[in-house]
């Protein structure tokens, strides 16, 4: 059976399966021809971003009345996974748009905010999520970007680092502190548009993997943000950050199983065509055992990610499931892509074949949207709390 059409063991509904296949075909036809070029140039093609909008993949959960697809969180994760099988960079652009930015606007935005931004984000505007700073990575609430209320505007001063979609974004969810003496209770979320006075996108990072995905510094120098641009409540930005990242981790899990799946499918084809000692290396038991381990680990990760997404859609408690899914899937992606290189041999170490890029793209999964250590901490805390 052709691995590109072979179903996962996980059960999907008819609508989900049709959607998955449509995204898979889109990724193969519209993204794959440009993957190497984008990786080498560390630059996202604008045409691909536009096609994501045309396919309806940038507002998957956005209600239809606001221009979106009105679909589920699980559908968004399926899109992220299928795109990641071809390119992790395009996948994370789609992921941040759906599971972080749009998700936060749907949940926390006023009706005015939703009507203003969601239609644009479904059709033409890219979003970014700006939490991290040089002093606040895993310690997310140590942020120092300051927001001071002056009349009917907040004035922001400081900077952000490692912001995904920085180059492409039109609107940014920016977390700043209105009163440092209050600690995390001073953190407030603002919607900052690219054209606001005093705001600019700074240096783009030169990265190991997901190179076409822009990861940028953001600079705020007396940046004026109307008070009406507060997302949620003043001083409650920490709550938005926590809840949104819990959801976003499932999206990163989807990206990881996509990357791992792409590497596995490429390997399965390669070992059946590569001959040594007069026969395809797929006929050697040692290779078969490695394939079996890869497939089993991939399916276990996929089940965990899908389960977390289903729990989120059902309105059930999904925090621990999300942490487990991200932890396991990111480790699985690194293991599977590394084994893929081993099975490709010397060819796997060259850029002529796709698996070295899958391996480079996989590493970020253990770092962003909560490191593996932070996921372990979350899981352990919830387990211990459940015993009290």
Does residue 350 sit within a domain?
Answer: yes
When pLDDT is cut at 50, 70 and 90, the band that residue 11 belongs to is: confident
Rounded average pLDDT over 249-271: 98
The pair of three-digit structure tokens given for residue 81, joined into one six-digit string? 């996974």
Rounded average pLDDT over 169-197: 96
Does residue 2 sit within a domain?
Answer: no
When pLDDT is cut at 50, 70 and 90, the band that residue 141 belongs to is: confident
From CA 118, how far away is CA 368, in angstroms rounded? Answer: 25
Judge whether residue 69 has pLDDT over 50. yes
Same domain, 120 and 181: no
Q: What is the pLDDT of residue 8?
A: 55
Does residue 9 sit within a domain?
Answer: no
- How many other C-beta atoms are found inside a 10 Å radius of the C-beta of residue 222? 12
From CA 168, how far away is CA 170, in angstroms rounded? Answer: 7
- Boundaries of domain holding 79: 14-126
Report pLDDT digits (tens) over 108-118.
999 999 999 99
Same domain, 122 and 135: no
- What is the reported pTM? 0.96
> What CATH number is given to the structural domain containing 285?
1.20.140.10
Judge whether residue 6 has pLDDT over 70. no
Work out the end-to-end distance of the chain between its first and last CA atoms, rounded to an integer number of angstroms: 51
Same domain, 20 and 115: yes
- The position carrying tokens 């209600």 is 63
Q: What is the pLDDT of residue 7?
A: 52
When pLDDT is cut at 50, 70 and 90, the band that residue 48 belongs to is: very high
The pair of three-digit structure tokens given for residue 343, joined into one six-digit string? 């099975």
Same domain, 382 and 246: yes
Q: Calculate the dihedral angle through the C-alpha atoms of 340, 344, 346, 349, rounding to the nearest 10 degrees.
A: -40
Q: What is the pLDDT of residue 133?
A: 95
- How are beta strands 146-150 and 279-280 bridged, if at all? unpaired
Report pLDDT digits (tens) over 126-139.
999 999 999 887 88
Distances (CA, A) of 180 to 121, 188, 240, 268: 32, 11, 18, 54
> What CATH number is given to the structural domain containing 68?
1.10.540.10
Does residue 1 sit within a domain?
Answer: no
Closest CA to 332 of 355, 351, 304, 368: 304
Q: What is the pLDDT of residue 286?
A: 97
Same domain, 245 and 352: yes
Out of 179, 207, 235, pick the residue that ends a domain.
235
Report pLDDT digits (tens) over 333-349.
999 999 999 999 999 99
In whole numbers, what is the pLDDT of the chain averaged over residues? 96
Does residue 7 sit within a domain?
Answer: no
Does residue 6 sit within a domain?
Answer: no
- How many other C-beta atoms are found inside a 10 Å radius of the C-beta of residue 113? 17
Same domain, 19 and 121: yes
Does residue 309 sit within a domain?
Answer: yes
Same domain, 211 and 268: no
Same domain, 120 and 133: no
Out of 126, 145, 163, pick the residue that ends a domain.
126
Rounded average pLDDT over 312-322: 97
What value, to the nearest 5°, has the Cα angle with vertex 81 and ends 270 and 60? 150
Q: What is the pLDDT of residue 135?
A: 83
* Contact between 150 and 164 (Cβ < 8 Å): no
Does residue 4 sit within a domain?
Answer: no
Q: What is the pLDDT of residue 55?
A: 97
Out of 63, 95, 126, pick the residue that ends a domain.
126
The pair of three-digit structure tokens given for residue 271, joined into one six-digit string? 């070992």
* Contact between 320 and 379 (Cβ < 8 Å): yes
Rounded to whole angstroms, the maximal C-alpha distance in the chain is 79
Q: What is the pLDDT of residue 142?
A: 87
The rounded percent of the chain whose pLDDT value lies above 90 is 94
* 369 tagged catalytic: yes
For the ranges 5-14, 67-76, 109-118, 191-200, the lowest mean pLDDT is seen at 5-14
Same domain, 161 and 104: no
Q: What is the pLDDT of residue 145?
A: 97
**What is the count of structural domains for the chain?**
3
From CA 372, how far away is CA 264, in angstroms rounded? Answer: 23
Judge whether residue 3 has pLDDT over 50. no
Same domain, 256 and 200: no
From CA 234, how far away is CA 347, in angstroms rounded? Answer: 55
Phi and psi at 302, nearest 5°, equal -65, -45
> What CATH number is given to the structural domain containing 223?
2.40.110.10
Helix (H, G, I), strand (E, B) or coil at 1: coil
Report pLDDT digits (tens) over 266-287.
999 999 999 999 999 999 999 9
Same domain, 177 and 314: no
Same domain, 201 and 252: no
- The position carrying tokens 């962003």 is 368
* Contact between 358 and 282 (Cβ < 8 Å): no
Catalytic residue among 61, 320, 334, 369: 369
The pair of three-digit structure tokens given for residue 380, joined into one six-digit string? 């352990």
* Contact between 311 and 305 (Cβ < 8 Å): no
Q: What is the pLDDT of residue 1?
A: 41
């Amino acid at each position: 059976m052709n691995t590109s059409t072979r179903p996962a063991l996980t059960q999907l509904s008819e609508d989900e399966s049709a959607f998955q296949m449509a995204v898979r075909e889109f990724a193969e036809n519209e993204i794959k021809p440009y993957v190497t070029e984008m990786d080498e140039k560390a630059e996202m093609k604008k045409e691909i971003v536009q096609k994501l909008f045309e396919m309806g993949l940038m507002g998957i959960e956005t209600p239809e009345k606001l221009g979106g697809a009105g679909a589920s969180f699980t559908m968004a994760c399926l899109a992220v996974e299928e795109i990641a099988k071809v390119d992790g960079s395009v996948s994370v652009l789609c992921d941040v748009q759906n599971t972080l930015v749009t998700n936060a606007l749907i949940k926390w935005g006023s009706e005015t905010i939703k009507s203003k931004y969601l239609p644009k984000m479904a059709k033409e505007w890219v979003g970014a999520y700006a939490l991290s700073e040089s002093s606040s990575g895993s310690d997310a609430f140590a942020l120092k970007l300051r927001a001071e209320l002056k009349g009917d505007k907040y004035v922001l001063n400081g900077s952000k680092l490692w912001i995904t979609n920085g180059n492409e974004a039109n609107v940014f969810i920016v977390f700043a502190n209105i009163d440092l003496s209050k600690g995390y209770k001073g953190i407030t979320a603002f919607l900052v548009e690219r054209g606001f006075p005093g705001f600019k996108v700074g240096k783009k990072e030169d990265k190991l993997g997901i190179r076409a995905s822009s990861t940028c510094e953001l600079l705020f120098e007396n940046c004026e943000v109307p008070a009406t641009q507060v997302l949620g409540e003043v001083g409650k930005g920490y709550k938005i950050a926590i809840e949104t990242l819990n959801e976003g981790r499932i999206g990163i899990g989807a990206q990881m199983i996509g990357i791992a799946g792409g590497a596995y499918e490429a390997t399965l084809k390669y070992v059946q065509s590569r001959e040594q000692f007069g026969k395809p290396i797929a006929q050697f038991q040692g290779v078969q055992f490695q394939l079996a381990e890869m497939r089993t680990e991939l399916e276990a990760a996929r089940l965990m990610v899908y389960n977390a997404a289903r729990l989120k859609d059902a309105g059930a408690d999904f925090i621990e499931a999300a942490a487990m899914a991200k932890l396991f899937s990111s480790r699985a992606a690194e293991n599977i892509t590394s084994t893929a290189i081993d099975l490709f041999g010397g060819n796997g170490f060259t850029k002529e074949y796709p698996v070295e890029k899958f391996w480079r793209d996989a590493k970020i999964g253990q770092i962003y949207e909560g490191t593996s250590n932070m996921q372990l901490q979350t899981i352990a805390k919830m387990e211990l709390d459940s015993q009290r």
